[in-house]
Amino acid sequence: MAIPSFVDRVTLEVAGGNGGHGCASIHREKFKPLGGPDGGNGGDGGSVILRVDPGLTTLVEFHRQHKRHAPNGEPGRGDHQNGSNGDDIVLRVPQGTVISDRATGEMMADLSTPDAEVVVAQGGKGGLGNAALASSTRKAPGFALLGEEGDAREVVLELKVVADIGLVGFPSAGKSSLVAAISAARPKIADYPFTTLVPNLGVVVAGDITYTVADVPGLIEGASEGKGLGLDFLRHIERCAAIVHVIDCATFEPGRDPLSDLDIIEGELRAHGGLEDRPRLVALNKIDVPDAHDLVDLVRADIEERGLRVFPISTKTGEGLTALRFAMAQLVAERRAAQPAPAAPRIVLHPPAIGETGEQFTVRKIGDGAGGFLWRVRGAKPERWVRQTDFKNAEAVGYLADRLNRLGIEEKLLDLGAIAGDAVAIGGDDAVIFDFAPQVDTGAEILARRGRDQRLEEQRPAVSRRRDKDAAYHAAQDEEAYVFGPRTVPEHPEPVDEADAEEPER
């Protein structure tokens, strides 16, 4: 099956890269069996970014390749080597693309400016290595933090053409011919209905005003309910500054006339919604046909009574096109003048007040007692800490318990009536469930700090033996000095002459 040339709605599966795990490593060197932690941090995962490319006009790139996954961050290594970050994936989309979350239907961004971009899948943060986790009380941690998983979601990309004027009307009313007559665009033109299957854009110059005109594929009665092509392309006129009705005055279809065509198209616009405030113009086309010229004189007064300006035109001969072109330019100029000038972006920092932390977690008791209950803890910090913990490492679990205790979760649970052994779940549907085991206090001090590393605080046997030998040596020296007195050696002994020396007794 051939890939279509124009695609204005796609569903895209995006996933940010996972963060690399931190490394738990101890520096090893001769005569230094415990040289301190040297595990590096894991790298951050890459993100998926959508960025506007003014040169694009379709979403066809994502028609087949609808899955994009950013690279993962590399894990940390020993010798203080941090893992590299995953590269971001930048996906280029046309200007006017609207991004929404498929699961919730919430709009995430409207990329209507040439320099707009949005992160649709954030990469996960890398875990800290044990070198970064070392402290005065935990000098050589035997654990590291895990990297976080990247965001994963399905997003809907919906293209809404950014044009100043939208041309609407029945099939074969002459919309494509009008675009070709007043601009350099060359859309497909034929004498059968639904010739135009994709919106066509043309750039029009009227005096010193330049604007764009969009040819929306033909609308029919019931287009807002899915009939014909109108349901797929009505969105393309939502951004237009004005709407021009192109009405065929030379149609031979029974039951059709300019007034009924105008009423039907207006009914479809009202059913679509959001277009009531757009100014309208009416272009009565094909007046080069004799019967059509006579019909214009009959319906022109009725249309003008509705407050609409009427322009009889012929895309074949060019009659009336100059007046219509400048009338459209006037509407565009008025719309642009009414819009406020874009304010220069200002970067405003709002640092939190000293001591102000806010509510960082919530605790709720869930269950009626009959089928059991548990304490549900929710909060960005505790849930992130749980995801970073390696539960196969007892020291890492102890470190998590210390963090939760410092955050005040244990104190909150005790205040709410939790007792040792109660089930505590941290997180949502993928929560981790613990048995509540509060720290035991004695006086004002904790008996044992959970997860504390004792390796550097304990004395190695070799060090003990060396210190015992040193102590024995110094004790022996002190005892000798006490018994025999301190040894004295003359600084400069005088030489003795052999002649003067006394002869020893025989």
Question: Which domains are assigned to the chain?
Answer: 1-159 (2.70.210.12), 165-338 (3.40.50.300), 362-446 (3.30.300.350)
pLDDT at 491: 57
pLDDT at 260: 86
For residues 204 and 213, is the Cβ–Cβ distance under 8 A?
Answer: yes
Q: How sure is the predictor about 220, in pLDDT bands with cuts at 50, 70 and 90?
A: low
Q: How sure is the predictor about 226, in pLDDT bands with cuts at 50, 70 and 90?
A: very low
Task: Tell me how long the chain is.
Answer: 506
pLDDT at 192: 42
17 known member of a binding site: no
381 known member of a binding site: no
170 known member of a binding site: yes
288 known member of a binding site: yes
197 known member of a binding site: yes
> Cα 452 from chain centroid?
37
Q: How sure is the predictor about 298, in pLDDT bands with cuts at 50, 70 and 90?
A: confident
Residue 474 has pLDDT above 50, yes or no: yes
226 known member of a binding site: no
84 known member of a binding site: no
User: Which residues 6+ apart lie within 8 Å of 316 measured at CB?
Assistant: 177, 286, 288
| % of residues, the chain, pLDDT over 70 | 78
pLDDT, tens digit (0-9, with 9 covering 90-100), for 112-159: 888 889 999 999 999 999 999 988 878 888 899 999 999 999 999 988
Nearest CA among 422, 402, 342, 384 for reference residue 114: 342
316 known member of a binding site: yes
175 known member of a binding site: yes
Cα separation, 57 vs 275, whole angstroms: 23
Cα separation, 261 vs 220, whole angstroms: 9
pLDDT, tens digit (0-9, with 9 covering 90-100), for 259-292: 888 888 888 788 877 778 888 999 998 888 888 8
227 known member of a binding site: no
82 known member of a binding site: no
pLDDT at 441: 47
Q: How sure is the predictor about 75, in pLDDT bands with cuts at 50, 70 and 90?
A: very high
pLDDT, tens digit (0-9, with 9 covering 90-100), for 432-470: 888 888 875 433 344 444 445 455 556 667 778 888 888
What is the end-to-end Cα distance of the chain in Å, rounded?
131
Q: How far, CA to CA in Å, does 354 sit from each of 169, 297, 347, 357, 380?
A: 63, 77, 21, 8, 20
Minimum mean pLDDT among 91-105, 203-217, 334-348: which range?
A: 334-348
187 known member of a binding site: no
User: Which residues 6+ apart lie within 8 Å of 127 measured at CB?
Assistant: 19, 20, 21, 22, 41, 42, 76, 144, 145, 146, 147, 148, 388
**376 DSSP β-pair partners:** 364, 425
209 known member of a binding site: no
247 known member of a binding site: no
60 known member of a binding site: no
**366 DSSP β-pair partners:** 374
Sign of the torsion formed by the C-alpha atoms of 415, 419, 422 and 425: positive
pLDDT, tens digit (0-9, with 9 covering 90-100), for 22-52: 999 988 877 666 678 899 999 999 999 999 9
Of residues 387 and 136, more confidently modeled? 387
- Characterize 316-338 residue by residue with b for buried, 16 or more Cβ atoms within 10 angstroms of its Cβ, and e for exposed: eeeebbeebbebbbebbbebeee
258 known member of a binding site: no
Instruction: Tell whether pTM > 0.85.
Output: no
Q: How sure is the predictor about 193, in pLDDT bands with cuts at 50, 70 and 90?
A: very low
299 known member of a binding site: no
314 known member of a binding site: yes
In the predicted model, what is the mean pLDDT of residues 343-364? 64
User: Which residues 6+ apart lie within 8 Å of 404 measured at CB?
Assistant: 382, 385, 410, 426
For residues 140 and 26, is the Cβ–Cβ distance under 8 A?
Answer: yes
497 known member of a binding site: no
373 known member of a binding site: no
**Tokens found for residue 330:** 């006037």
Mean pLDDT value across the chain:
80
71 known member of a binding site: no
